[in-house]
Amino acid sequence: MSEQKRIPQHVAIIMDGNGRWAELRGKERCEGHAAGVEPVRASLRAAVRHGVKFLTLYAFSTENWGRPAAEVEALMELFCQSVANEAPELVRQGVRVRMIGERSRFSDKVQKALSEIESLTARGETLTLILALNYSSRSEITRAMQRIARRVAAGELRAEDIGEETVSQALDTAPYPDPDLIIRTSGEQRLSNFLLWQASYAELWFPEVLWPDFTEEEFDRAIEEYARRDRRFGLVKGK
């Protein structure tokens, strides 16, 4: 490994702790989500500054539909507003927005807002921001298996030719490299159905800070920590 500081090419974040942040202040949970937008901006700024090429944010899991209707509705509104408000700044920074997850379950309004931000930012070359929306890893892997099974049934692919690359290419994340660093805020140390296949060799970092309090400096700390880690990918160092 060279002496040059190692920068992860792909950082993925589980933005956790909005609800607790709000409850600690006697506020509604929705206010915690609203306070979670600034750390998204801060993370993007820091990621661009460090030269990170892909930033994935776990914004809404398939399980999150089970939250109270008012909270789900507020989150949907927040996504629509945020993508519309942030569009000019994202374009200015050269950020390309993409999505993973099943968007068909969202309302037409949300789907339209997502398609708009994707097309408005399609030419961004500085960083790809991947929003995981109505996403869970098991659902993604299940859908990938269905795609592969259909190809086998159609005679396009033999079962014995299915390899790891076949699976990777059938996932929503096919166009992107695996995450090098996964951050989960709020002190929880779990992956919670997030990028399970792709996280095989990712470094994990669990800062105590609640997501609304996550700052550029916190992102810098995660990058510093990553640079210190010794990634061997199951090999022996120096061989």
**CA 196 to CA 142: how far, in whole Å?**
12
Q: What separation in angstroms does the CA of 114 have from each of 47, 84, 106, 118, 127?
A: 22, 9, 10, 6, 17
Segment near ligand FPP (CB under 6 A), from 14-22, 45-53, 119-127, 154-162? 14-22
Query: Quick check: is 64 catalytic?
Result: yes
Phi, psi of 199 (to 5 degrees): -85, 5
Q: Among 10, 18, 90, 226, which residue interacts with ligand FPP (rule: CB under 6 A)?
A: 18
Q: Among 62, 74, 79, 128, which residue interacts with ligand FPP (rule: CB under 6 A)?
A: 79
Least distance to ligand FPP from the beta carbon of 231, Å? 28
Helix (H, G, I), strand (E, B) or coil at 186: coil
Query: Would you count residue 16 as binding ligand FPP (CB under 6 A)?
Result: yes
Please count the other Cβ atoms lying within 10 Å of the Cβ belonging to residue 57: 20
Least distance to ligand FPP from the beta carbon of 126, Å? 18
Segment near ligand FPP (CB under 6 A), from 36-44, 120-128, 175-183, 191-199? 36-44
CA atoms 210, 211, 213, 217: torsion sign: positive
Least distance to ligand FPP from the beta carbon of 41, Å? 9
CA atoms 89, 19, 76, 202: torsion sign: positive
Q: Among 30, 47, 59, 80, which residue interacts with ligand FPP (rule: CB under 6 A)?
A: 59
Nearer to ligand FPP, 37 or 149 (CB): 37
**CA 239 to CA 33: how far, in whole Å?**
47
Query: Would you count residue 15 as binding ligand FPP (CB under 6 A)?
Result: yes
Positions that interact with ligand FPP (CB under 6 A): 15-20, 33, 36-37, 40, 57, 59, 64, 78-79, 82, 131, 211
